[in-house]
Chains A and B, each alone.
Chain A
Amino acid sequence: MTRPASSLYRVSPVTADVAKNFQDLAPYSLPIRENLETFFTQGDSDPRSIFGPGAANSIRLEAALQTFSKVLALPATSIHFVADRSLAFTLSILGHAKSGEFRAIRYSAIDKKDAIAATIEAKGFGVTLNESRVDLSGVIDFKSAPESDLTKSLTLFQLRNGETGIWQSLIPDGPLILDATSLNPRGWGNTLAKEVISQSGNWQSAIFDATSWGGPRGLYILALNERASWRNPLPTLDPVLPRFGASTPLTLMSAVALEIESAKSPSSIDQANAFLREQLGVLDEIDIAGDATGDRLSISILNLPADELMRRLASDGFTVDSGSACSASELSPSHVLAAMGILTHGNIRIRLRDENIGSVEPFLDSLVAHARALRSELL
Chain B
Amino acid sequence: MREINCLGMKCPLPIIELSKSMKQNSSENSFLLKSDDVATSPDLEAWSRMTGNSVRAIDHENFEITRGGATSLN
- Chain A residues close to B by CB (< 8 Å): 285, 287, 300, 302-306, 324-326, 331-333, 337-338, 341-346, 378-379
Does B1 sit within 8 A of A, measured CB to CB? no
Q: Beyond the given A325-B39, A343-B47, A344-B39, please list 18 additional residue pairs across the A-B interface where CB-CB is below 8 A.
A: A303-B12, A303-B16, A324-B11, A324-B12, A324-B39, A326-B11, A326-B12, A331-B10, A332-B39, A333-B11, A341-B45, A342-B46, A343-B50, A344-B11, A345-B43, A378-B16, A379-B16, A379-B23
Binding site for A on B (CB under 8 A): 10-13, 15-16, 19-20, 23, 37-39, 42-43, 45-47, 49-51
Top-8 shortest CB links A-B: A345-B12, A343-B46, A338-B42, A333-B39, A345-B11, A285-B50, A325-B11, A325-B39
Say which residue of B23, B38, B47, B50 sits within 8 Å of A325 (CB atoms): B38
B23 neighbours in A (Cβ, 8 Å): 379
Selected contact of B12 from candidates A304, A331, A332, A337, CB within 8 Å: A304
| B38 / chain A contacts, CB cutoff of 8 Å | 325, 332-333
- Nearest-neighbour CB distance to chain A for B31, whole angstroms, equals 15
Which of B10, B19, B49 meets A326, CB within 8 Å?
B10
Other-chain residue from A302, A325, A338, A341 in contact with B10 (beta carbon distance below 8 A):
A325
Q: B12 to chain A: which residues have CB within 8 Å?
A: 303-306, 324, 326, 345-346
A305, A332, A344, A378: which contacts B43 (Cβ < 8 A)?
A344
Q: Which of A305, A341, A343, A346 has the most CB of B within 10 A?
A: A343
Q: Is the CB of A302 within 8 A of B47?
A: yes
Bound-state Cα–Cα, A346 to B16, Å: 11
* Chain B minimum-CB-distance residue to A308: B12
Cα A231 to Cα B51 with chains together (Å): 52
* A344 and B50 form a contact (CB under 8 A): no
- Complex Cα distance, B54 from A283, in Å, reads 22
Whole-angstrom distance between the alpha carbons of A345 and B23 in the complex? 20
Q: Which residues of B contact A326 (CB under 8 A)?
A: 10-12
